[in-house]
Amino acid sequence: MVNWTKTEKATITDIFSHLDYDDIGPKALSRCLIVYPWTQRYFSGFGNLYNAAAIIGNAKVAEHGIKVLHGLDLGLKKMDNIEAAYADLSSLHSEKLHVDPDNFKLLSDCITIVLAAKLGSAFTAETQATFQKFLGAVMSALGKQYH
């Protein structure tokens, strides 16, 4: 159970109200696949991931990046019960997709980096701290159904 201050909630709400899902989602997922190439193993159905240019230009990667980023909306809508919000997605990643949960942290870091690059000086250290607290809560919830 994660507690949020009013300021933290306001910061998270503000970030998501301006979030460019269609830009950040593809960039974050493709960065994850390039920086941590072993994460590519889960996306064998996505076609050519041969090099960075292929990954960045891959329409399936882009589409999935948007889907994953919208996955964070579940937590945003249920900040006071993030675990419950991700129960189903956690089971899916564990039982069906067999995604190693260590990878959640890698993708979160890529999301943070891409968001930081986009927001520039508006992404203050305090904003980052709050955003990472939120992502940490989501990733922990996503890991809950792993046995």
18 is in an annotated binding site: no
Contact 114, 15 (CB under 8 A): no
Site size toward ligand ZNH, by CB under 6 A: 19
Stretch that binds ligand ZNH, among 5-13, 51-59, 67-75, 117-125 (CB under 6 A): 67-75
Contact 106, 139 (CB under 8 A): no
Closer residue to ligand ZNH, CB minimum distance, 6 or 81: 81
- How near is the Cβ of 1 to ligand ZNH at its closest, in Å? 20
Contacts of 73 (CB under 8 A, 6+ apart): 16
Query: Site map for ligand ZNH, 3-42, x if CB under 6 A?
Result: ------------------------------------x--x
User: Residue-wise over 46-74: b if at least 16 C-beta within 10 A, else e?
Assistant: beebeeeeebeebeebbebbbebbeebeb
* Residue carrying structure tokens 């399936």: 60
Q: Does 130 bind ligand ZNH (CB under 6 A)?
A: no
Interatomic CA distance for residues 39 and 68, integer angstroms: 14
90-129: which residues touch ligand ZNH (CB under 6 A)?
92-93, 97, 99, 103-104, 107-108
Give the Cβ contact number of residue 40 at 10 Å.
16
70 is in an annotated binding site: no
The contact set with ligand ZNH (CB under 6 A) reads: 39, 42-43, 45, 64, 67-68, 71-72, 89, 92-93, 97, 99, 103-104, 107-108, 142
